[in-house]
Amino acid sequence: MERSADPELACPIAPVVDIVFSRWTTPILWTLHQHGRQRFVELERRLTSITPKVLTQRLRQLERDGLVARTYHAEVPPRVEYEITELGGSLAPLFAHLATWADSHLTDVDQARQAYDAAR
């Protein structure tokens, strides 16, 4: 059996993992899903470890991918709001399954890591 060098052919979910599970994407989408439309400063307050530069970059990428919508309000001062799109919201069942898996198995993963580290 010949193995493919292209990870996307070997694993059809690889592109999804690259889009959804890159650093900060999941926390941003989770926050927008849980709390609805938010201004940039609201997201900053909820995601305390992210820098404004990285938050801006991730939001732009999520907007480009169609997972987040940006609404600019031309008022004084200008106001920008972000919300999860229907496409982004369609990831909610996936996140729910992952949250259930985390509740059930992260303790097992921690134990496996400890056993591995102890054996080394």
Q: What is the pLDDT of residues 6-49, one digit of tens each?
A: 766 778 888 888 888 888 999 999 999 999 999 999 999 999 99
Burial class (CB in 10 A: 0-12, 13-18, 19+), 86: exposed
Q: Judge whether 65 lies within some domain.
A: yes
What are 32's two structure tokens? Answer: 């927008």
Provide the strand spans (E) within 1-120.
Answer: 38-39, 68-73, 79-84
Can you tell me the distance from the alpha carbon of 94 to that of 43, in angstroms, rounded to the nearest whole number? 22
The better pLDDT of the pair 90, 7 is held by 90
* Alpha-carbon span 30 to 20, nearest angstrom: 11
Q: For residue 79, what are its two tokens?
A: 């106001």
Number of domains the chain contains? 1
> Which pLDDT band, with edges at 50, 70 and 90, does 70 fall under?
very high
CATH number of the domain at 55, please.
1.10.10.10
Strands (E), 1-101: 38-39, 68-73, 79-84
Containing structural domain, residue 28: 7-89
Q: What is the pLDDT of residue 7?
A: 61
Distance between CA atoms of 109 and 112, rounded to whole angstroms? 5
Residue 70 within any structural domain of the chain: yes
* 120 occurs within a structural domain: no
* Whole-number average pLDDT of the chain: 91
Query: Rounded to an integer, what distance in angstroms lies between the CA atom of residue 81 and that of residue 70?
Result: 6
pLDDT greater at residue 36 or residue 4: 36
Average pLDDT for residues 59-75, to the nearest whole number? 96
Half-sphere exposure of 120 (CA within 13 A, CB side): 6
